[in-house]
Every structure is written in structure tokens, then in C-alpha cells.
Chain A
Amino acid sequence: MSAPSTAAMNGHWGRWAGYGAILAAALIVPLVFPAFQTQMAFLWLMIVFALTWDVMGGQMGYNSFGNILFLGVGMYVCAVVQVGLHVDVAAYNASMGASALDLTMGQYLTGLGLGLAAGAVAAVACAVVLGAGVLLLLIAVIVIAVAVGLCNWLGLPPVLGVAAGLGAAVFMALRVPALRAHGLLSLRGHYFAIGTLGLGIAAGEVASGWQFIGAGSGMVTPLYPGELGGREQFFNAAAFVLAVATFFALRRLYAGRFGLAVNAIRDDEQKAEAMGLPTTRYKTVAWSVAAVFMGIAGGLVGNIVGFIDPRDVAFAGATYGVWMVLMAILGGKGTIWGPVLGAAVFHITQELFWTYLLGWQRVALGLLIVLIVVFFPQGLLGWVRARWPERFGHRVDSRAAEEAEG
């Protein structure tokens, strides 16, 4: 009987050691190395990226290349709310943020809070509509296009056309159940991966063509009103809180029915359906969970960077979008500590060595992906588990027990 309790102890020790290391890093680094606050903030954000990617990619087996969408949506919505509370957004962007906002701390914090909340809501809305309602969305868009054209021609206000389109979508949703739950989440395997890849790039293309949010020249976020250096400290703390919230929320979710359901979908989705699991709902909730935290992270990234470029910051598929997949796989996908570990290792390596690569960073990134995927697909945690299985608890104990029996 001593074996399982030792394993449990090891598990506990490992976990508390992890918590301790992270808390120490969070508290000590800002005090000792105040210059590294922004890097620290990005470390927490990377952890959020990897953890939320893993909800779909690792736990549910739906490998998304498009979660960057939620980051960008959260970023833009947050910035638009922050600016829109005080001035006209279109004019602000047209002047490239030259008409800089002069906000009090109270105004700034209110705007940021509202912006982050709005960004999270918008990201979840995107997840639900794109995940389970692309066909309805398409119907709405087509009807709106035709109806607005007709209204123009007949001299009626175009609002009627928009209303007609939305009405048609709602009507179809109520009358034709087959259309209701059909979106990107009904794609399987590589179709989902490539579909979401297209989605992320499409969002970047749309954002760089849309004048209202500054099109290709981007959007400037409002200035932080506090004292010098306070900005970095504030956002580092905010990113830390977000990472901790993400971690514990996911851990709580994985421990219950949700965790088993998404694992079941990963192992055999048709079986899960045959057992009566509402798979579409679980998939939509899983994507929404990823979207909430990515949306908030987006709002923070926009404010930390200070400038939102549609392709390089918001819908940055070539950097954040790839990194989140890489970090989760590097650490070990399908575990909760794997993405955290992967993000830490990747980010620290990157901060230490990247600058020496002088423009060859992205070449190195491509090489790194190939090497990790080909030679190390189980990730750090997967490797450790294969090496020292007894550290990972009861599963192996009972296997040993079985051998003892038979």
C-alpha cells in the first residue's frame, strides 16, 4: 500500500514545487529585475496561449491553427471600447492616434475593464458562431447582401435589409435543426486544422482592409496615465492574474465531467455521440473557454505593445499563432502542466538566445517545429512520464499490481 501514497506524495510535492517556483518568479522578478517586467508579462501570456490551445488541441484532439483569431478579436474590441468611450473611433484611427487621449487613472481603468470584458464576450461570440453556426452566418450574409441591394434600389433604408437577413438566419435556426449546429467544429481532423488556419489569416486580411479600425496602418491603444514604469508593473500583474485564473479554471474544468467529455471526444467522437454525449455542445463550450481567456489576453497584449498591427500583433499567426501550438507540444499536450512548462521553456529560451540569431529567428522557429514534431512529439512531460511512470500516480501502480497477481 505504500507505493500509491508515495506516488501521491510525489505528485503533491511536484505540484507545490511548481506553485512555489511560479509564485517566487512572480514576486521576485519585478522587485529584483524591474527591467524585465514586460518579458515577464509575456511569459504569463504565453502560458495562457499554450494552456488555452491545449483545451482543444491536447485535451479534445481538435488541433486548431486559428485560436489567434480570439486574441486579435479581443485586442481590437478592447481597444475600440477604450477609445470609443471618449472619442470617435474612426476619426481617432484616421489621425493615427495623433489625437492622443489624455485620461485620468479612473477613466483609464474603467475603459480597460470594460474593454477586456467586451473583448472576452466578443471572442466567445466568435467561437460560438464560427464553431457551430457558419452555415447560418452565411445565410444571414447572403440575405443581408441581397436585401440591402434591394433596399438601395427601392429607396428603402438599408436597415430593413439587415433586419431581413438576421430574421432569415433566426428563422432557419429555429426551423432547420440540421443547419443549427454546423460550423468549423463539425470538421474533423486535418480539415479542422486547415479550416482554422484559413480563419486566422482571413481575420488578419479583413482587419488590414477595414478603415474603421485603422486598416493596414493599425491602431494605437490609449496611453497609460500613471507614473513612469507603473505601466509595466500594472500589466505584468494583470497578466499574472490572468494566467493563474486560466490555470485554475482549466484545472477545475478538467477534473469534472467536462474534462472527461473532451477526452472522450478525442479518443472516439462517434462513440461519444452513440453514448448520448452532446458532443457539439461540448466542443462549442471548449472553444468558448479557450476564447474567453484568449480574448482577455488579447486586450492585455494590445495595451502592453501599445500598437495593434493587424497582421503582426493582433492576428499574428506567424508568431503567437505558431508558438502556442509549439509550446503546448513541447511541454506535452493533453496535460495541464505541459503547456505551462512548454511556454516557460520556450519563452525563456527565446528571450535568452533569440537576439543572437539576428533575423534568423523565424528560420530557427521553423526548424524547431520540425525537430520537435519529428523527434519529440510526446513533449517534455510525456517524455518524463514515459521515463519515470511511477511519478505519475496510480495508473502504473495498478498495472504493477496486475503483474503481481498474474
Chain B
Amino acid sequence: MSALLDVRAVGKAFGGVVANRGISVQVEEGEIVGLIGPNGSGKTTLFNSIVGHHPIDEGEIYFDNGRIDKLGVPEIARLGLLRTFQQTRIYGGMTCVQNMLISAPQQGLGVAAMLAPHTRAEEERAGELLDFVGLYEKRHLIAGDLSFGQQKLLEFSMALMNGPRLLLLDEPTAGINPTLINGLMDRLQRANAEFGITLLVIEHNMRVIMNLAQRIYCLAHGELLAEGAPSEIREDRRVIDAYLGAT
């Protein structure tokens, strides 16, 4: 029984710039794992590689024991591996409920499934999840009119609507009002505990990630620098140096 997500020695370069080199990351089912590192250390590139946004140069990626590094973005997403974006992305011209409904997993790829109407269950689920993130009152508003923080919550609830097994979150607290951060952390933990969604989180806010994650990987200069429990990472000399800019 191997890990839910198994990234093995992945490398990726853009032209001459090496963004990732020999990175191995394992995420077990049910965990919350953190991914930290200074700006430009290759965290988002690793996310993009995992979800199939671009082909990787070397290494292999397995999800639920199946190899996914040759698949495209939608195929991987349909396997139950979803990501959110650092620059929050929602469907700005549609209402919150519509954003939620279209995020429901599609029953098959046939034309019938594509043209099907929404089910009662989907509509109820959308309402529940919007309530879960506290957006129920705003469900009929145009999503593009929401504040940035609310859009972030909406994007998160859209991901939940899809019912993924593993969710990659790219800086969920960036740009959010500090008073709302605790609430968001609570939601993330409940999503993990109640809905059984495994989380892999990129985060710059150390207080958040140290409290949230059970294990943390630290990247620097495109390579894996350290791995361990939050307490170990906090004490790790190399991690501190990397964040303070020493080499």
C-alpha cells in the first residue's frame, strides 16, 4: 500500500531555468501536508507538474497507484486530484450557485451526461457547501462581484463540490483579511476530517502552516531542502537560512 500521491524524483526546467530538480513528495490518504519555500523555489511549478499542466522532464508521478504524469489536466482532475489557484480563479460572470453546480462531478463523458439537467441532490449539496464556507446569503450574487476573500472561499467550496480525494491548495490564506484566517483554517481542517479530503497546501504564513499541517516539505532553489513534522522544520537550520536569504 503506497501513498495516495507519490511524486518520484520529478524535474522540470523552463528553457535554461531549472524550476524543479529531483523532487520526491509522498502524501498519505487523509493527511494534511504543507509545502513551503521562499518565493521562486518551485512550489507552484511542482503543483503544475502534478496536475498535468505541463509535461515533466524527468521522474514519475503516481496518484492512487496509477501513473498520471502523462495525463492532461481534465483527466487528472476527474481522477479526484484537484487544485486551487494562487490568483483565485472562479467563473466571474456566473452566480455563486452556478459556479457550484458546474463544479459538481460529471456523470460520465457521454453526450447525455453533458446535456443533462441538474439534479436535486446537486442543488442541495451546493447550498450546504456554500453554507459551510459562509456564502449562503450571497449565493445568487455574480461571483465576480464578491470580495477577494469571498472569492477564495467560493473557489474552495467549488473544489469541495467536486468531491476530490486530494486537493492541492495554492496559498489559501494569501490576501485574506487576518481576522478570517482562523475561520478558513477551521474549514480546511473540517474538510479534511469530515469530508475525508487529503490536503497538500502551499503556504507562506508560518503560523497557519505550522498549525495546520502534520508534515511539511520545504523547497529552495527548486530542490527539496527538508521534510518533517512542523516542530522539526521550525528548528531546521537550513530552512531558516533559506528563508533569511543565506545560501
Contact = CB atoms under 8 A, between A and B. Distances in A.
A48 B94 CA distance: 25
Interface string B80-114: 00110100011111110010011101100101011
Given A271-B89, A274-B51, A258 B115 contact: yes
Nearest to A267: B91
Nearest to A181: B72
B137 A405 contact: yes
Contacts of A264: 91, 94, 102
Contacts of B78: 276
A227 interface: no
Interface string B137-158: 1111110010000000000001
A277 interface: yes
A155 interface: no
Contact-size category for B:
35 or more
A257 B90 contact: no
A268 to B, nearest CB: 5
Nearest to A260: B102
B118 interface: yes
Contacts of A281: 109, 114
Interface string B196-221: 00000000000000000000000000
B95 A268 contact: no
Interface stretch (A69-77, A131-139, A204-212, A394-402): A394-402
B158 A282 contact: no
B70 to A, nearest CB: 9
A367 interface: no
Interface in A200-257: 253, 255-257
A276 B82 contact: yes
Contact of B102 (A257, A273, A278, A397): A257
A279 interface: yes
A374 interface: no
Contact of B140 (A257, A278, A394): A394
Which secondary structure characterizes the binding site on chain A? helix
Contacts, number: 106
Contact of B91 (A257, A271, A401): A271
Contacts of A397: 140
A63 interface: no
Given A255-B117, A268-B92, A285-B111, A402 B141 contact: yes
B74 interface: yes
Contact of B73 (A263, A273, A394): A273
A281 B90 CA distance: 21
B137 A270 contact: no
Contacts of B94: 260, 263-264, 267
Interface string A339-376: 00000000000000000000000000000000000000
A287 to B, nearest CB: 13
B74 A278 contact: yes
A395 B95 contact: yes
A275 interface: yes
Contacts of B72: 273
Contacts of A297: none
B41 interface: no
Nearest to A265: B91
A405 B137 CA distance: 10
Closest 10 CB pairs of A and B: A276-B77, A267-B91, A260-B102, A256-B117, A398-B140, A271-B89, A276-B78, A273-B73, A264-B91, A267-B93
Given A275-B159, A285-B111, A394-B140, 16 more contacts: A256-B117, A257-B113, A257-B115, A261-B102, A263-B94, A267-B90, A267-B91, A267-B93, A268-B89, A268-B92, A270-B89, A275-B102, A275-B103, A275-B158, A276-B78, A398-B137
26 contacts: A256-B118, A260-B102, A263-B93, A263-B98, A263-B102, A268-B91, A268-B92, A271-B85, A271-B89, A272-B102, A273-B72, A273-B74, A273-B77, A274-B51, A274-B82, A275-B103, A275-B162, A276-B74, A278-B74, A278-B106, A285-B111, A285-B114, A285-B115, A394-B140, A395-B142, A398-B138
